[in-house]
């Protein structure tokens, strides 16, 4: 992170400089660290500048001019989401900053850092990546500014944008630059913003043409088609190149990179991460504290939920690490000075899809469905509970491990089809309370979310039955979303009545935020159902948002905090009382 550290290593210059909007934590949950370790494994000298002062150009020049390129990421989250709430208020903390202090990253951080890099290193290529770049790679809606924005590449002026999990693309980019080749065309998982001359000369005949920036400005309803086309082509097997015109310039997106799997995926997580924040930090980084004893076991999410960006970033095709690789990481974890015997999570985008498979059959390779699980589970989708069982049982058998919990979300529809895994999970791997995400109780709203209806009550019954069989008092912590497109007071009433019936007081209320490029953002902007094109109700005022949030607290109407109340209730569907929840927290 400093010139002094370069000197200690005997480095006169860097090959690659990575600028990130997060504090530097050398852990595979942080994208900048993964890319840094991937390049290091190839023999490159990598420097990382975390959260530079964007008002001072020299805040990124301390380690000199990198030989190959500058890599830019806003961090693990979109910077606008990091900085602002659903009510568009500034957040009071930032979990990815030292001490949780807010204000250490600018709005539109990827754009700002790229422009800084252009000024500081005018002759050095700039590679833009990370979640913010992925979700803003085409024209999109920005909720916090309440306006449509062009592709981030139109403003950032980066040489190339990497979207998705960027290990494969960054290896190819670095190989070309090392050979003196600055032509980035044809790299899967990338996008280029061509100049006017290059656009005129380019052969775009094999591309799907997206609604242009000008068409979107003239009629925002084009955003629905744009979103559906990009989503349908988010497959490395049969996805087409996409082109979106911005005036006389083309945003050209290549198909996604193939997901890493098998030994290649294991190798990424077996790189020599320190699993610690950089030693220069004096105060803790909250985001690291929550994951320091966790292990990532899988990638990809086949759910296709319209409120989530994972399908656009990690893709819908699943990859799972080998059991041996995960157990090896757990053994390394037990040797840490900070480890206290509990593996806090064996997770990924969806914990209980470890070992499941899609993309393995010819039908998968031709498929453009956004979801393998909605409106029903695809018959080609392979559910196999044995790898998950082997993983759970093998993890808790490791020396020095007292508990292994699964805190990542699970798919309840899949869990109900894997009874042995569900029993193992509930009876041995729940820390007292399990997070679940029914999201809503209205079938119409669930359909717009691409979530199954009717599974939550059945899952509840099974959860409490298995807990009782094990002699454990355990609780479910459900998440519901208010103010989702197509949800008026009538639809919210379905959740309100359910909570009254179960005598539940929610710990958290998830107020809907339309994230860039998602299907829910398209519905929010256009007021149209993504499945049918019909006009739907959209919550747009602060007053209606607050009213819907209050409906999620029917048993404690005086409570106004988002954390909700925690009240002991009679019966097996109770949430924990204050004493129990304090212990579990």
| Residue 349 burial (C-beta neighbours within 10 Å; 0-12, 13-18, 19+) | buried
CATH architecture of the region 3-187: 3-Layer(aba) Sandwich (3.40)
pLDDT string in tens for the chain (585-residue length): 999 999 999 999 999 999 999 999 999 999 999 999 999 999 999 999 999 999 998 999 999 999 999 999 999 999 999 999 999 999 999 999 999 999 999 999 999 999 999 999 999 999 999 999 999 999 999 999 999 999 999 999 899 999 999 999 999 999 999 999 999 999 999 999 999 999 999 999 999 999 999 999 999 999 999 999 999 999 999 999 999 999 999 999 999 999 999 999 999 999 999 999 999 999 999 999 999 999 999 999 999 999 999 999 999 999 999 999 999 999 999 999 989 999 999 999 999 999 999 999 999 999 999 999 999 999 999 999 999 999 999 999 999 999 999 998 899 999 999 999 999 999 999 999 998 999 999 999 999 999 999 899 999 999 999 999 999 999 998 999 999 999 999 999 999 999 999 888 887 778 999 999 999 999 999 999 999 999 999 999 999 999 999 998 877 644 333 233 222 222 333 333 323 322 222
| Alpha-carbon span 130 to 110, nearest angstrom | 9
**Please, what is the average pLDDT of the chain?**
93
pLDDT score at 577: 32
Q: What residues does each domain of the chain span? A: 3-187, 293-417, 432-585
| CA 1 to centroid of chain Cα atoms | 26
- The encoded tokens of residue 137 equal 């790679």
At the topology level, CATH places domain 432-585 in: Transcription Regulator spoIIAA (3.30.750)
Fold of the domain built from segment(s) 293-417:
Transcription Regulator spoIIAA (3.30.750)
C-alpha–C-alpha distance, residues 51 and 60, integer Å:
10
* Same fold: 293-417 with 432-585: yes
Instruction: State the pLDDT at residue 582.
Output: 28
- The two beta strands, 242-246 and 249-253, are antiparallel
Sign of CA dihedral 22, 27, 30, 36: positive
Sign of CA dihedral 157, 57, 24, 584: negative
Enter the DSSP assignment of 212: P
Please tell me the pTM assigned to this model. Answer: 0.93
């Amino acid at each position: 992170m400093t010139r002094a550290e370069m000197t200690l290593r005997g480095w006169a210059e860097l090959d690659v400089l990575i600028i990130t909007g997060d504090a530097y934590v050398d852990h595979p949950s942080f994208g900048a660290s993964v890319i840094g370790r991937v390049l290091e494994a190839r023999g490159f000298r990598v420097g990382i500048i975390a959260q530079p002062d964007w008002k001072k150009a020299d805040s990124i020049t301390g380690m000199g001019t990198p030989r190959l390129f500058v890599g830019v990421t806003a961090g693990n989250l979109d910077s606008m989401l990091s900085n602002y709430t659903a009510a568009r208020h500034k957040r009071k903390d930032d979990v990815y900053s030292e001490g949780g202090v807010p204000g250490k990253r600018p709005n539109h951080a990827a754009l700002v850092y790229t422009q800084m890099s252009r000024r500081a290193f005018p002759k050095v290529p700039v590679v833009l990546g990370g979640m913010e770049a992925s979700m803003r790679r085409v024209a999109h809606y920005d909720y916090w500014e309440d306006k449509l924005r062009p592709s981030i590449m139109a403003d950032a002026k980066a040489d190339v944008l990497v979207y998705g999990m960027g290990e494969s693309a960054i290896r190819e980019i670095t190989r070309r630059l090392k050979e003196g080749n600055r032509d980035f065309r044809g790299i899967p998982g990338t996008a280029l913003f061509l100049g006017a001359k290059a656009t005129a000369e380019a052969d775009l005949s094999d591309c799907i043409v997206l609604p242009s920036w000008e068409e979107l400005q003239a009629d925002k309803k084009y955003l629905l088609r744009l979103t559906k086309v990009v989503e349908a082509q988010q497959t490395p097997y049969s996805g087409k190149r996409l082109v979106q015109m911005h005036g006389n310039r083309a945003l050209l997106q290549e198909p996604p990179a193939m997901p890493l799997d098998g030994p290649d995926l294991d190798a990424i997580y077996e790189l020599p991460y320190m699993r610690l924040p950089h030693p220069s930090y004096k105060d803790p980084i909250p985001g690291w504290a929550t994951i320091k004893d966790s292990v990532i076991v899988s990638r990809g999410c086949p759910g296709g939920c319209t409120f989530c960006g994972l399908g656009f970033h990690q893709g819908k095709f699943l990859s799972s690490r080998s059991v041996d690789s995960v157990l090896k990481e757990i053994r390394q974890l037990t040797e840490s000075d900070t480890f206290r015997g509990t593996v806090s999570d064996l997770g990924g985008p969806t914990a209980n899809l470890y070992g499941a498979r899609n993309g393995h059959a010819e039908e998968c390779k031709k498929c453009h469905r956004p979801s393998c699980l909605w409106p029903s589970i695809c018959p080609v989708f392979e559910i196999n509970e044995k790898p998950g069982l082997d993983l759970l049982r093998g993890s808790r058998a490791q020396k020095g491990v007292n508990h292994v919990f699964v805190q990542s979300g699970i798919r309840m529809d899949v869990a109900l089809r894997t009874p042995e895994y569900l029993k193992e999970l509930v009876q041995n791997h729940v820390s007292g309370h399990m997070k679940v995400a029914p999201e809503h109780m209205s079938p119409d709203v669930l359909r717009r979310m691409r979530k199954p209806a009717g599974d939550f009550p059945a899952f509840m019954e099974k959860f409490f039955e298995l807990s009782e069989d094990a002699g454990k008092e355990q609780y479910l912590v459900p998440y519901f979303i208010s103010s989702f497109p197509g949800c008026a007071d009538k639809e919210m009433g379905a959740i309100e009545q359910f909570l009254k019936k179960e005598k539940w007081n929610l710990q958290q209320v998830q107020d809907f935020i339309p994230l860039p490029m998602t299907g829910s953002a398209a519905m929010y902007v256009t007021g149209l159902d993504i499945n049918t094109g019909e006009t739907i109700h959209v919550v747009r005022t602060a007053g209606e948002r607050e009213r819907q949030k209050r409906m999620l607290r029917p048993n404690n109407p005086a409570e106004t905090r988002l954390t909700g109340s925690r009240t002991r209730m009679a019966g097996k569907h109770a949430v924990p009382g204050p004493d129990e929840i304090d212990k579990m927290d």
